[in-house]
Each structure stands twice: as C-alpha cells, then as structure tokens.
Structure 1
Amino acid sequence: MARIGKRLKNAYQGIDRDGFMPLDDALRLIKSKATAKFDETIEVAMNLGIDPRHADQMVRGMVTLPNGTGKTVRVAVFARANKAEEALAAGADIVGADDLAEKIQAGEINFDRCIATPDMMAVVGKLGKILGPRGLMPNPKLGTVTPNVTEAVKAAKGGSVEFRAEKTGIVHAGVGKASFSDDALLENIRAFIGAINRARPTGAKGQYIERISLSSTMGPGVKLDLSTVPTASSTANA
C-alpha cells in the first residue's frame, strides 16, 4: 500500500474523506489546500455509469470553458496555402504539411493540440500510430478536422478541453487554476459537467453520473454532493 506523504497527510486535515460536500464549499476548501509553490490546476473527476468497452457507451467530446484553463496551449495545424495563412493569423504555433509530418515522424512533437483541414487527412492519417496514443490525432467529431481553422485554433487557445472516458468509466480534466476566482472556476466546472451530461451515450442505462470529485494538482480530493450540481443531479438517477 502506498504511503501518504507528510504534505498530503497535512492537507487532508479537516477533510471528511467519506463525506460529500456542496460544490461551493468543496471548491473553497480545495483552493485553501492548494499551497504548492506553483499555481495548481483545479481538476474534476467524474465516475460514470458506463462501460466504455461497448461502442454505444463511449463518452468523448470537446468543451470550451467560459474562463479558459489558465494553461498555455501550443497548437499545430496541418494546412496548405490560404488555410495555412489563416492558421498563423489565428495564433497557431506550428503550421505545415508534409514538412510537419516529417518532423513528427522524427519525434519532434512540441505541441499540445493538433488540427487539420480535411484535405490534409491523407498526410495526417499516416501519423495515427504516433499521434493516436498521445491523444493528438485530429478528429472531425472533436472539431479538430475542419476547414474553419481560425475558429478551431482560437478555441484551442481560448480554453477548449477534450474529454474521453477511461476504461474504468472515469472522465477527468483540468478546469482552471487555483488563482482563478471562485466564480470563474464554478462557471468552468458547471460547463464541464454540463458537457459530460450532454454527451451521455445511448447505451448508458440507470444512474449515469455516479460521483464527482474535486482536487488540485498536489492536494487532496473532495467528493461533491450531486444535489448541489444541477447539471449532474438532473440525470444522476435517470
């Protein structure tokens, strides 16, 4: 059994690890425990009543947080000619075509999000074994394969978050920094939970959202009282 470090042990003081807290109170408590020497990320983890091994129970999508994530996102775009110019004008960090593919094949992957225009997928498709395992493969369902590169780049830079259920049915994401105001974080948290709600798969039966927890990068986790999160409680017992 892993030992809990002294710092985390101290952080758990005053926290009922078996209890459930209202969202507002839980957020304030988590922020008070985010005492690392850097600006910790506030994270949401959701246990869903799904089995991702079945195609009709997969939960995956993208959501734009109203107040951003507080993280600098490096964006690469596969595009040519006018679309390449649009991507650069929108703020893309890396833009290319075959030359970008060659760099990726050589192991040069210094970006956090990858976008492609539809005509570039013949090139990008060959990179699936490299980009796929890293969660970087462009996907039309996520809006990262699109002719509208300007909108896609701005969304990636402005705080869009990709989510995908793990094998255990857990979805998690960073929803801002501890330095954000309570109101900004609450808006982001509700937006994220709302997106998971809307992504409920057709194969999900019974209770969909089973548990939600808040934590910070280096801090303890707190379980939420679902009745205090309308977007969660509305389908908790659907």
Structure 2
Amino acid sequence: MAHDKRLNAARATIDRAKLYSLPEAISIIRTNATAKFDETVEFSMNLGIDPRHADQMVRGMVSLPNGTGKTLRVGVFARPAKAAEALEAGADVVGAEDLAEKVQAGEIEFDRCIATPDMMALVGRLGKILGPRGLMPNPKLGTVTMNVKDAVLAAKSGQVEFRAEKAGIIHAGVGKASFDEAKLVENIRALVDAVQKAKPTGAKGTYLQKAALSSTMGPGIRVDVSSLAT
C-alpha cells in the first residue's frame, strides 16, 4: 500500500511530543507532501469556547492574501440587473426561480452561495438543502448583499469561511503544498488574526489553546501557538 508507506515515512520525520514553530511545521509538511497531486495544506485551531452557547460562537470570513490555490465555484441568486453584475465579476451560476429549481433537483453547482436581500424569501425555502452543506447566504458573512460584484470577486480571490465546530475546533484550507513557505505563513497568520478578532464576549480563559497543520495525505503536526503571532 503506497499511501500507508508514504504516511508512515512522513510520521517518522515528526516528533509527536514536540510543538513546532509555524515555519518549521510548514517546511516538514511541504517536504512530506509527495502525492501525485498538489495537496491542500490544512490548519486547525482548538479554541477555549463552547459553541453551544450563542455568546461563544465563532464564525466569519477572511481573505487569504495569497489565495487558496483552489478554484471556487460561486452561485448567485439575483434578478437581471444584479445578475449581469455577478456574471461580469465571474460568478459560475446565476439565476432566480430557475436556479432555485435546480437546487431543489439536487443540481448544486457552486461552493459558495451569494444572494441579494430581495432574493432571501426565495432562498429561504432552500434552507433544508443549503443549510446542511454550509451554503446558506448570511448577511454577517457578506453573502447577502446588494454589492454582488465585490462578494463574487472576494470569493474568487481566496476568501475562506471559518466556523467553530461543536468541540470548539476551527479548520480551514490555507493553500497548497506547492506554495512557498512565506505565502503559507502569511495565509495562516491572516486566518489566525481573523479568528482572534472574532473572539466572542463569552469566551473565558485561554482563547487559542492548540494548533495543528497537515496536508491532504499527510499526518498532523502540532504547532506552537506562540509562533502564530504576526
């Protein structure tokens, strides 16, 4: 099993008891990313929160300075004038009732969903489909807006959403293994900064508790949180 051999070889280069600095962790991840495709570099953080409480939820958007290396498909619910604006900005799928019908039929051809405010009555009916997939437009995330051009451009240029899961963990793709070390450091620090700024009022004690880095096919590496500061 080639994958198992590669994974075991990668694990052998990591001291499981050590907290690595961010640059060290990135260097090891890039060296061990030897799959036949460009592996995604993933970063995770354990936060000192309990997301079950409304005043401890952490969620937001951040534009990574060097993009994600992934082509994001963007769908926009809008009427003709704004629909044209969305298409000009590079949206992949644009529509109103016609797009809603496609979604209801299971044809979801987008990874990010944007809607103008006047379309939310229609989009709201799709909540049971879009919600579980994390695709429901949200004004707090800038995905319910009349400025569809900027929203589409942001999504296409490397904007990622972060959201704390039940255990208070946030994880996000922060680039590709082919990115140079400096670009990955910059992207990760931008994400950490955004999460720090999103610290909820109800959070007590140490907010950013643990961090780890991994690639699609590689093992995780524990990162010293003190090395994450910009």
- TM-score bracket relative to the smaller structure: over 0.9
- Aligned residue in 1 for 2:196: 197
Deviation of residue 7 (structure 1)?
2.5
Instruction: Check if 1:108 corresponds to 2:107.
Output: yes
Deviation of residue 127 (structure 1)?
0.3
Deviation of residue 228 (structure 1)?
1.5
- Aligned residue type for 1:202: T
TM-score by length of structure 2 reads 0.97
- Aligned residue type for 1:138: P
Mapped partners of 1:227, 1:208: distance in 2: 13
Mapped partners of 1:213, 1:135: distance in 2: 23
- Aligned residue in 1 for 2:133: 134
- Aligned residue in 1 for 2:183: 184
SS in 1 for 2:126: helix
Aligned pairs, how many? Answer: 228
Mapped partners of 1:71, 1:227: distance in 2: 29
Mapped partners of 1:134, 1:60: distance in 2: 15
Deviation of residue 8 (structure 1)?
1.3
Deviations 1:186-226 (A, max 9, x none): 11010011111011111100000000101111011111112
- Aligned residue in 2 for 1:148: 147
Deviation of residue 90 (structure 1)?
0.3
Correspondence 1:9-28 to 2 at 5 A: 9-28=8-27
- Aligned residue in 1 for 2:92: 93
Deviations 1:125-181 (A, max 9, x none): 000000000000000000000000000000000000001111011000000001111
TM-score by length of structure 1 reads 0.94
Identity, in percent, stands at: 70
- Aligned residue in 2 for 1:236: none
- Aligned residue in 2 for 1:175: 174
Mapped partners of 1:159, 1:133: distance in 2: 22
Mapped partners of 1:163, 1:227: distance in 2: 21
Mapped partners of 2:179, 2:21: distance in 1: 19
Q: Which runs of 5+ in 1 are unaligned?
A: 232-238
- Aligned residue type for 2:172: A
- Aligned residue type for 1:61: G
- Aligned residue type for 2:141: L
Correspondence 1:3-14 to 2 at 5 A: 5-14=4-13
Instruction: Check if 1:48 corresponds to 2:47.
Output: yes
Mapped partners of 1:61, 1:15: distance in 2: 32
CA RMSD of aligned residues (A): 1.0
Instruction: Check if 1:72 corresponds to 2:71.
Output: yes
Structure 1, 221-230 or 96-105: larger mean CA deviation: 221-230
SS in 2 for 1:223: strand
Mapped partners of 1:154, 1:94: distance in 2: 14
Deviations 1:53-112 (A, max 9, x none): 100111100000001000011100000121011000000000000010011001101110
- Aligned residue in 2 for 1:157: 156
